[in-house]
Amino acid sequence: MKYMRYAIGEIILVVIGILIAIQINNWNQERIQSEELDGLLQSVANGVNSDVRTLNLLLIARENIAIMADSIYRTHIAPDKPPANAVEAAYISYAFNDINSAIYFNPNTSAFQALKNSTYIGKLQGTDLALLINTYYSNAEKLRGIEEEINQNTRNLVQDWEADFTKQDIALFYRPFPAYDQSPAVRTRFYEILKDDQSINLLRNSTYEAALVGFYEEQILLGNKLIQMIKNSKETFDEQTKLEFSGILFSFGDADLVSLLINGQVPTEFNINYAASSNPTGLLSLENDYMVIEYPSDTYTWGAPYFRVNALKGRVHEMDFSPYDKLLIEMKGATGGEEFEVTMKDKKDPPDGSEARVRMQVTDEWKVYEIDTAEFTTADMKTIEVPLAFVFQGPEGQTIHVRSVRFKKG
């Protein structure tokens, strides 16, 4: 019996030793994997840092060529404009040389591919950092596509332009000196080429390069945030990042949650306006972490503060909200008992107040009010232009406080 107890004790000690050894081994493996993942992420950050430097240069180059093309068009193309002097001719020549030089964003993807192909990518799954990494590189591909479209259009116009002239003409236009100062015939021919329809088309097209600036700025914003999160070993977004990137990081319909208002602030993909029976001013304000919406007494017949889609630097004014079943509004009244209506409007809804609305009454305590989007029966959820409007009517003044507005999938 004594031997049995001794043997059992020995077995328990051995088992405990094995378990400790396994745990130590697991800790070591976890440490090694974390170090290797950190190394991969640092390589991603280094690549993105190089990308950001390139993007800043591209932004300046696109902006400059658009400015130069616009300046040449305005200064020299009109019939009554005098011929260019030597300095202006040099400016024009340099501009056309730049127009004929295609520039591209070539993102550094080797570290990203190494991370994707590693066994450690699963450790990031479901994190904000993983979302940001994937969004950065998918956005980069979209940017390349937009660049290629603009560059190809420019190449086609350059080919048409060069086909209009002899090789001697083109050589003269690209390098007009020193003959420009010495020969009136050279100056005349230079100006004839500049005023040709193909030259004018090329200049007009080049002004559109400025449209890429907003896309570069967005990519730089994503890149800088990615570098910062990796540097600080962060895997989740802070509230400011959620505000800045709401609508950039998510394709509407893919995200489980879309915010119109976060702690009283409007994300970049939306804006807020105020319509009323007469010109409203100063009725929207930010107080701490919520928005104050006022409807003053005996001033308007009706008033309607509303959120509007304003995506891609104001080029998109409608979005598909059909995946979202619930509208959540965190709000309270200034005194309690405030009554008003809320509504959603699609791009074809007439501005006559005929849209379906939901009646609301709020207390003086913060509360999240949940509304089924199906109640907005007149709104085509696939083409929403106004995802939320508050509608006040009559002479009675009311003030409400709104902290957040969200749409979520049911």
pLDDT tens, 227-263?
A: 999 999 898 888 777 766 766 665 554 566 788 998 9
Q: Where are the domains of the chain?
A: 31-236, 257-408
Per-residue pLDDT at 349 exceeds 70: yes
CA gap 218, 241 in Å, rounded: 13
Query: Distance (Å, rounded) from C-alpha 81 to C-alpha 190?
Result: 14
Residue found by looking up tokens 């309607």 in the block: 304
Length of the chain: 410
The answer to whether residue 226 scores a pLDDT higher than 90 is: yes
Amino acid identity of residue 135, one-letter, is T
Residue at token pair 């003086």: 364
Residue 253: per-residue pLDDT: 46
Specify the pTM: 0.63
* Residue 160: pLDDT over 80: yes
With a cut of 60, say whether residue 266 has pLDDT above it.
yes
Percent of the chain at pLDDT exceeding 90: 42
Q: How far apart are CA 145 and CA 149, in angstroms?
A: 6
Q: Is the pLDDT of residue 6 over 70?
A: no
| Whether residue 274 has pLDDT greater than 70 | yes
Coil, helix or strand at residue 88:
helix
Q: Note the pLDDT of residue 32.
A: 53
Q: Does domain 257-408 have CATH number 2.60.120.430?
A: yes
> Which tokens in the block code for residue 345?
């409007």
Encode pLDDT of 177-196 as tens digits.
777 777 888 888 888 888 88
> What is the pLDDT of the chain when averaged over all its residues?
86
Q: What is the pLDDT of residue 299?
A: 95
Q: Which residues pair with 305 in a beta bridge?
A: 274
State the pLDDT at residue 249: 62
Average pLDDT value for residue range 79-95: 81
pLDDT range class, residue 372, cuts 50, 70, 90: very high
User: How much is the average pLDDT of 10-20?
Assistant: 63
